[in-house]
Chain A
Amino acid sequence: MSEDQERELRERFARLRHEEGGAAPEFGALLRRPVNQPPRRATGPRLTRLLLAAAVLAVIAVGLSRIRRPDPAYAIDLSSTSWHGPTDFLLVFPDDESLRTVPRLGELDLNWRTP
């Protein structure tokens, strides 16, 4: 920001200060006037809010209690079921047994000698 721009900004703030300063209430009058209380709610609405909150909680509680657990009569015994994937056959190929087991090479004969 150039010096001119900064000076212009200061002048604008000075004008604003002048306008607002002139609109300031009289000091003594402001000090001695009755104090404005911030808006407060009476007990009635507070009670209403509490009752409403309680009602909302009650509705939530009833809603949660109505979420039904599965009926045991229709429960599925997963241990008694089995499932086979439709593409299992793709994993079966000839002699795949050799890939799943350790080959037996027979016993080693330590007394073997070359003729």
Chain B
Amino acid sequence: MDPLPPPLTSVTTGAAMSRVDLEQELERLHPAAFGWALACCGGDRVAAEDALQATYLKILDGRAVFEGRSTFMTWVFGVLRRTAAEERRRGRGWEWGPLSLLSSHVATGSDRHHSDAGVLRSEESSALLGALSALPARQREVLHLVFYQDLTIAEAAEVAGVGLGTARTHYARGKAALRRLLEELR
């Protein structure tokens, strides 16, 4: 993934953005946002694409409005994180109920259109993801945001919706646990 080009001026000042500006900005962040969407959806590409699309539409339709209180990137990531959680709840709410066994009319993943290819990863990256998946969700989120997205811990805290101190704790504990898990896998 190439380094991100500089953002638009309106993004840095928080001034009202046109749809074209928003699209341009979202496109700039798209590869990073896809990585974050995958992290929010446990590596499920279909779910990640759905969450990402829903997030973009929410932003472009004005259902989520950037007010310049943070960077555009952390704001988009925050919206994406919430949207992925909403999609997960909406999509699986009934499926978890014991009564769902009675129904055979559930739309399955095969009914839905999506990119058929998964994400091809090296063995090393798969091992990293495996180790990450063993961590508690908050630790995983903070580590992803700091190491993968190159955000500061303060920005990661903003995206994850936790305090700075809490994010620091998750970062330190997560890093130590991840290191341990990776060593065990060797």
Contacts and interface: CB of A to CB of B under 8 A. Distances in A.
Interface in B1-26: 1, 23, 26
A16 B148 contact: yes
A39 B108 contact: yes
A75 interface: no
Contact of B124 (A12, A22, A36): A12
Given A1-B179, A13-B147, A16-B121, A21 B128 contact: no
A70 B31 CA distance: 74
B107 A39 contact: yes
Contacts of A38: 50, 87, 90-91
Contacts of B56: 30-31
B102 A48 contact: yes
Interface in B48-62: 49-50, 52-54, 56-57, 60
A52 B125 contact: no
Contacts of B49: 25, 30
Interface in A35-81: 35-42, 44-45, 48-49, 52-53
B112 interface: yes
Given A13-B148, A27-B30, A31-B53, A20 B103 contact: no
A24 interface: yes
A19 interface: yes
A23 interface: yes
Given A16-B121, A20-B38, A23-B119, A33 B27 contact: no
A16 B108 contact: no
Contacts of A37: 107, 112
Given A41-B105, A48-B102, A33 B35 contact: no
A20 B35 contact: yes
Nearest to A23: B119
Contacts of A17: 1, 32, 35, 148-149
Contacts of B94: 41
A9 B30 contact: no
Contacts of B119: 19-20, 23
Nearest to B2: A21
A40 to B, nearest CB: 7
5 contacts: A12-B124, A15-B125, A20-B121, A23-B117, A39-B95
Given A9-B147, A15-B122, A17-B149, 14 more contacts: A9-B178, A9-B179, A12-B125, A19-B120, A20-B119, A23-B45, A27-B30, A35-B54, A36-B53, A36-B113, A39-B91, A39-B95, A41-B103, A49-B103
Interface of B: 1, 23, 26-27, 30-32, 34-35, 38, 45-46, 49-50, 52-54, 56-57, 60, 87, 90-91, 94-95, 99, 102-108, 112-115, 117, 119-122, 124-125, 128-129, 144, 147-149, 175-176, 178-179, 182
